[in-house]
A and B are shown apart, each in its own frame.
Chain A
Amino acid sequence: MACAGPASSGRPMEKRVTFDNRLLPYLLLTPQLVVTIVFFFWPAAQALYQSLLLPDPFGLGARFVWFSNFEYLFNDRYYLQSFVTTAVFTFFVTLVSMSVALLFAVMADQVIKGAGAYKTLLIWPYAVAPAVAGVMWLFMFQPSIGVIAFYMKAVGIDWNPVLDGGQAMTLVILAAAWKQISYNFLFFLAGLQAIPKSLIEAAAIDGAGKWHRFRTIIFPLLSPTTFFLLVVNIVYAFFETFGIIHTMTSGGPGQSTTILVYKVYSDGFVGQDLGSSAAQSVILMVVVGILTVIQFRFIERRVHY
């Protein structure tokens, strides 16, 4: 109970505002704790437990099979290939969504007239659900019905993501990145506005050009934001993109856009193989955990707070 904070001191000379109630800190933490337990710890524990089970076809009973779900997965070379696919997808989604968002934020930061309208419009796509975003991109780029695909073919581009794995991957990366740009934009803009103007003005007086100021002052001072967004974007690409994949490619052609989380979704919810799906979730959880630790150990060192 030593960690109860300011409430533990009862000295009369204390000038700070203190709360003597020992329960209050816990009470204030309760909402967040409840949310974390109900929406993270409980499902995670369920996934761990289910990953050791083989449920029957109608989900009425299950057999305990130890680690055979994991054994099955790691013997499947298509599953292993899906790690590579996920890495490519995540790298480009993060790169595209963060760099475009940074560009927009820098530009929006300089806008004087109608800044509010620009900002609102740039933030808008964040409200679009992934599956809906997928369908919208499909309406533009699906080779049979897509409006833009029609003009691409008209000017002679051999556009067929239905059979060309590289084009399919490009398409899902763009759709997934587009959806995340808004979120990144918001944080980058806030980060930019927190940089003291005096620093930039001083550099300008010293004769530093626009690019030089950005590279040596603005970008380093944005590094906490960039680091935070890097973690968030990787988690986004890993976990929240199955709706986009499902509506746009179903993981195809072949397995060229089958990322790990899509396989979790399709094996679990379409194929009803909950044991394997749970085992895949556990693996995914471990992978993202490791990635986050790596980021905090090695990349965070270069962040200036």
Chain B
Amino acid sequence: MLSLPYNSSTPVLYINKNALEEAGLDPEAKPATWPEVEEILVKLKEAGSECPLTTAWQSWVHLENLSAYHNAPFATEANGFAGTNTELAFNGDLQVKHIDKMGAWAKDGLFSYSGRRNEGGARFRSGECAMFTESSAGYAGVKAEADFPFTVTNLPYWPEAEGAPYNTIIGGASLWVMSGHEAEEYAGVAAFLNYLSSAEVQAQWHQDTGYLPITTAAYDLTKEQGFYNENPGTDVAILQMTGKAPTENSKGIRLGNFDQIRAIIDEELEAVWQGQKDAKAALDEAVSRGNELLRRFEQSTR
């Protein structure tokens, strides 16, 4: 282990039950696939919704996780894990199809873009947006602020992709311990990390925030306490992450200059949502701009 995973989460779909009911839909609906989601979006729009669907973290949810979830490569060389000579690959058929669909939804008023980070959260929690793809860690905020009943369900997938859905991947952060300190300081660090990863602390952290528990013991403890039964949907993220044995494409992503690459992806996706570029052109451009950054990174590691 390089560092201690801490606030890890994975994207899920949040649904405002009242919005479904007002549109004459089954409020308990849990659409599993994007075509099922589309049917609901059309009805929501017909019923007058200004924002049937929005998202947070578009690159993470709609390209990185989309790719892992359908066992499609985001980048070559096992998403960068096998070497720094990796090249981006998220302009494949599946990703182009998905972004093209979302572009069409944006044009038709079925999908409303909120911003690059999690600006969409306020719009979902206030009831403006009916459906919201966001990190499982958005749970605490939704639970605290939304004055309507909501569903948390799996990120939808495309049924025609072979073997889909695979597992989704994590986002978040981890704790690093730096070298160069005194032995007794490390003893303190170790005690603190042991405390943080103890089942009780992890279970509480997981239940309060929606972040994933980092140990099986914390998951089992949460189950024992009956939390998942009382709060349906809170185990969706865990099951979705661990549902299948991860493949080369769904283990995670390791790329240099990834922050800048995500900014490029944001820029190109915005061009799609504005209707300035089609999905294929935007993703091709993002791949080629991103590859330049990867080559730059490769040089710096030589």
A254 near B271 (CB under 8 angstroms)? yes
Nearest CB in chain A to that of B124: its residue: A144
Q: Could you say which of A252, A255, A273 contacts B296, with CB atoms under 8 Å apart?
A: A273
B301 near A57 (CB under 8 angstroms)? yes
- Could you tell me the distance between the alpha carbons of A267 and B259 in the complex, rounded to whole angstroms? 9
B116 near A270 (CB under 8 angstroms)? no
Q: Which residues of B contact A255 (CB under 8 A)?
A: 267
Known: A144-B119, A144-B122, A250-B116. A266 touches B297 (CB 8 A): no
Bitwise interface map of A from 39 to 80 toward B, beta carbon under 8 Å scored 1, else 0: 000000000000000111100000101000000100010100
Bitwise interface map of B from 255 to 273 toward A, beta carbon under 8 Å scored 1, else 0: 0110110010011001101
Q: Could you say which of A65, A142, A251, A271 contacts B119, with CB atoms under 8 Å apart?
A: A142
- Could you tell me the distance between the alpha carbons of A76 and B276 in the complex, rounded to whole angstroms? 21
Nearest CB in chain B to that of A250: its residue: B116
A63 near B122 (CB under 8 angstroms)? no
Q: Which residues of B contact A78 (CB under 8 A)?
A: 289
Shortest distance between the CB of A132 and any CB in chain B (Å): 18
B300 near A163 (CB under 8 angstroms)? no
Question: Which residues of chain B from 242 to 287 have any CB-CB distance to chain A below 8 Å in the complex?
Answer: 256-257, 259-260, 263, 266-267, 270-271, 273-274, 276
Known: A57-B256, A271-B260. A163 touches B302 (CB 8 A): no
Task: From B114, B257, B263, B271, name the one whose CB has the most chain A CB atoms within 10 angstroms.
Answer: B263
Q: Could you say which of B128, B266, B292, B302 contacts A252, with CB atoms under 8 Å apart?
A: B266
B263 near A250 (CB under 8 angstroms)? yes
Q: Which residues of B contact A54 (CB under 8 A)?
A: 296, 299-300
B113 CB-CB contact with A under 8 Å? yes
B122 near A55 (CB under 8 angstroms)? no
B270 near A273 (CB under 8 angstroms)? no
- Could you tell me the distance between the alpha carbons of A252 and B300 in the complex, rounded to whole angstroms? 28
Number of interface residues of B (CB under 8 A): 30
Known: A54-B300, A56-B300, A162-B114. A252 touches B270 (CB 8 A): yes
- Could you tell me the distance between the alpha carbons of A267 and B257 in the complex, rounded to whole angstroms? 9
Shortest distance between the CB of B109 and any CB in chain A (Å): 12
Q: Which residues of A contact B62 (CB under 8 A)?
A: none
Nearest CB in chain B to that of A253: its residue: B270
Q: Could you say which of A63, A76, A143, A145 contacts B302, with CB atoms under 8 Å apart?
A: A63
Shortest distance between the CB of B290 and any CB in chain A (Å): 12
Known: A54-B300, A273-B260, A273-B296. A252 touches B116 (CB 8 A): yes
Q: Which residues of A contact B267 (CB under 8 A)?
A: 251-255
- Could you tell me the distance between the alpha carbons of A160 and B245 in the complex, rounded to whole angstroms? 42
- Could you tell me the distance between the alpha carbons of A272 and B115 in the complex, rounded to whole angstroms? 23
Shortest distance between the CB of A72 and any CB in chain B (Å): 7
B98 CB-CB contact with A under 8 Å? no
B256 near A144 (CB under 8 angstroms)? no
A163 near B274 (CB under 8 angstroms)? yes
B30 CB-CB contact with A under 8 Å? no
Q: Which residues of A contact B116 (CB under 8 A)?
A: 250, 252
A56 near B122 (CB under 8 angstroms)? no
A254 near B270 (CB under 8 angstroms)? yes
Nearest CB in chain B to that of A161: its residue: B115
B101 CB-CB contact with A under 8 Å? no
Task: From A54, A144, A272, name the one whose CB has the most chain B CB atoms within 10 angstroms.
Answer: A144
- Could you tell me the distance between the alpha carbons of A118 and B300 in the complex, rounded to whole angstroms? 55
B120 CB-CB contact with A under 8 Å? yes
A144 near B114 (CB under 8 angstroms)? yes
- Could you tell me the distance between the alpha carbons of A232 and B112 in the complex, rounded to whole angstroms? 41
B123 CB-CB contact with A under 8 Å? yes
Known: A144-B122, A250-B116. A267 touches B300 (CB 8 A): no
B273 near A163 (CB under 8 angstroms)? yes
A267 near B128 (CB under 8 angstroms)? no
- Could you tell me the distance between the alpha carbons of A210 and B120 in the complex, rounded to whole angstroms? 52
Q: Which residues of A contact B114 (CB under 8 A)?
A: 143-144, 162
Question: Which residues of chain B from 162 to 208 have any CB-CB distance to chain A below 8 Å in the complex?
Answer: none
A144 near B120 (CB under 8 angstroms)? yes
- Could you tell me the distance between the alpha carbons of A63 and B296 in the complex, rounded to whole angstroms? 12
- Could you tell me the distance between the alpha carbons of A276 and B260 in the complex, rounded to whole angstroms? 12
Shortest distance between the CB of A78 and any CB in chain B (Å): 7
Known: A162-B114, A163-B113, A251-B263. A145 touches B122 (CB 8 A): yes
- Could you tell me the distance between the alpha carbons of A143 and B54 in the complex, rounded to whole angstroms? 13
Q: Other than the known A72-B292, A273-B257, what 4 A-B pairs have Cβ atoms closer than 8 Å?
A: A144-B128, A162-B115, A251-B263, A270-B260
Interface residue ranges, A against B (CB under 8 Å): 54-57, 63, 65, 72, 76, 78, 142-145, 162-164, 250-255, 266-267, 270-273, 275-276
Closest 5 CB pairs of A and B: A253-B270, A271-B260, A144-B123, A271-B259, A254-B267
